Amino acid sequence: MKIFCNQHHQLHRGQQEMFRGQLVDCHEVPQRLDHVIQELAKRPVGEMLQPPSHLDLDAALRRVHTSDYLSFLSTAWSKWVQLNPDNANRDALPSVWPLPGKHAFRMDKPPLNFAAKLGQYAFDAGTPLMSGTWAAAREGAACAVAAAQALIDGERATVALTRPPGHHAGAAYMGGYCFLNNAAIAAEHLKAQGIERIAILDIDYHHGNGTQAIFDERRDVYTVSIHGDPLTEYPFFLGHADERGSNEGEGFNLNLPLPRGTGFEDWYATLNLALQVISDYAPQALIVPLGLDTYEGDPISGFKLKSENYVTVGGALASLGLPTLLTLEGGYAVAEFGVNTVNVLEGFQT
Ligand code: SP5
Ligand code: ZN
């Protein structure tokens, strides 16, 4: 198992996120990945690697994200500080958004004001952007591309230790602590290298709205997500069972929402259903956006998986017998995050 680790992840270090009218301490903290790295030092389930420097990362990013969004991200910090020099000490968060719809707001005249631009490209105020965000997110995406290339080169399983996470990011928006959609970037790299059918199985607590939207009209990338019911759970505005894909992609998205409070037995039955559907699709590769926020101790989520369950989950993912790439998504019980993540990887190996 080849594990590509984002050596620059600590450059992304948010201070606070908006939650119900208050700024609260960020949940998505650098210590999360540090715990994974420490646990991998104790239980070396694979080779720890850096992505090679010769990757054409810009081409890989452009396969998923729009060029205007990428140029927004790459210049966001300097424009935030230009808005007001005092901003150098505070993270950028949006506070105004253009609601969509014919009778709502105009996007044919995109605003020049940078505080408005932030709202144009973000769907929540919980995703702080700071000086190191772009460098950290880019290096995470490089890990995803390197992990995809290693699958092409014949690895059975590869891991991209991505932080910040990616599955909430769309072609032209950030949100849910995500900026670049690492799983989608990996999928498009596989496609560019000639892989024709790919399944993405998202097992983060939250619906993988960005990934679903990116591949909504595609039948060559089958997106499946098991997550907390959006009627009550973030990201609320997508992730229902009746979303099955559009146009050419109709029938190639599957959402399996479960109620808050779901325990391992019901969750695992749903995982096995997802695995059967994926097996029937007969993909050439599997990508798993892996969130560990299904853990019973997660401070912002509502499923009840236990640490030992993650070994079983890893084994179930391996049972498909497909070349498999895992990206790291959510998981906010920081002290247990390393053990839970490595449990999945160990379960996959055995
Ligand atoms: C990648 C990922 O898992 N993103 C999740 C983003 C969730 N953002 C909204 C979190 C709401 C925080 N609630 C705080 C509750 C404190 N009791
Ligand atoms: Zn999550």
Q: Are 209 and 173 in contact (CB under 8 A)?
A: no
Distance CA 221, CA 31 (A): 33
pLDDT value at position 114? 97
Q: What is the mean pLDDT of the chain?
A: 98
pLDDT value at position 283? 99
Distance CA 168, CA 148 (A): 20
**347 Rama sector, left if φ>0, alpha if ψ -120 to 50, beta otherwise:** alpha
In sequence order, what are the residues at sequence separation of 6 or more whose Cβ sits closer than 8 angstroms to the Cβ of residue 177?
14, 27, 28, 126, 127, 164, 165, 168, 330
Q: Which atom of ligand 1 lies closest to the CA of 332?
A: 3
Going by C-alpha positions, the residue among 157, 155, 160, 158 that lies closest to residue 144 is 160
pLDDT band of residue 350 (cuts 50, 70, 90) is confident
What's at 76, amino acid-wise? Answer: A
pLDDT value at position 121? 98
The preferred substitution site among 181, 206, 207 for testing ligand 1, maximizing ligand atoms within 8 Å of CB, is 206
The preferred substitution site among 12, 25, 26, 27 for testing ligand 1, maximizing ligand atoms within 8 Å of CB, is 27
pLDDT one-digit tens code per residue, 169-179: 999 999 999 99
pLDDT of 63 strictly over 90: yes
Distance CA 141, CA 132 (A): 14
pLDDT of 214 strictly over 90: yes
pLDDT value at position 109? 93
Q: Is 63 exposed, middle or buried (0-12, 13-18, 19+ CB in 10 A)?
A: middle
pLDDT value at position 2? 98
Cα–Cα distances in angstroms (integers) from residue 144 to residues 4, 43, 153, 287, in the given order? 8, 22, 14, 10
Angle at 204 between CA 270 and CA 59, to 5 degrees: 120
Protein residue whose Cα sits closest to atom 8 of ligand 1 = 176
pLDDT one-digit tens code per residue, 148-196: 999 999 999 999 999 999 999 999 999 999 999 999 999 999 999 999 9
* pLDDT, average across residues 52-68: 97
Is 168 one of the catalytic residues?
A: yes
* pLDDT, average across residues 73-100: 97
- Is the C-beta atom of 176 inside 6 A of ligand 1? yes
Distance CA 164, CA 332 (A): 12
Give me the percent of the chain exceeding a pLDDT of 70.
100
pLDDT value at position 267? 99
- H or E, element range at 69: helix 67-83
pLDDT of 296 strictly over 90: yes
Residue found by looking up tokens 């679903």 in the block? 212
pLDDT value at position 102? 80
User: Which ligand has the minimum distance to the alpha carbon of residue 300?
Assistant: 1
pLDDT value at position 81? 98
pLDDT of 197 strictly over 90: yes
Distance CA 269, CA 262 (A): 11
pLDDT one-digit tens code per residue, 215-244: 999 999 999 999 999 999 999 999 999 999
pLDDT one-digit tens code per residue, 111-156: 999 999 999 999 999 999 999 999 999 999 999 999 999 999 999 9
* pLDDT, average across residues 77-104: 94
pLDDT one-digit tens code per residue, 257-273: 999 999 999 999 999 99
Q: Which atom of ligand 1 lies closest to the CA of 175?
A: 6
Residue 293 CA to ligand 2 centre (angstroms): 6
Going by C-alpha positions, the residue among 193, 213, 162 that lies closest to residue 284 is 193
Protein residue whose Cα sits closest to atom 12 of ligand 1 = 300
pLDDT of 100 strictly over 90: no
pLDDT value at position 101? 83
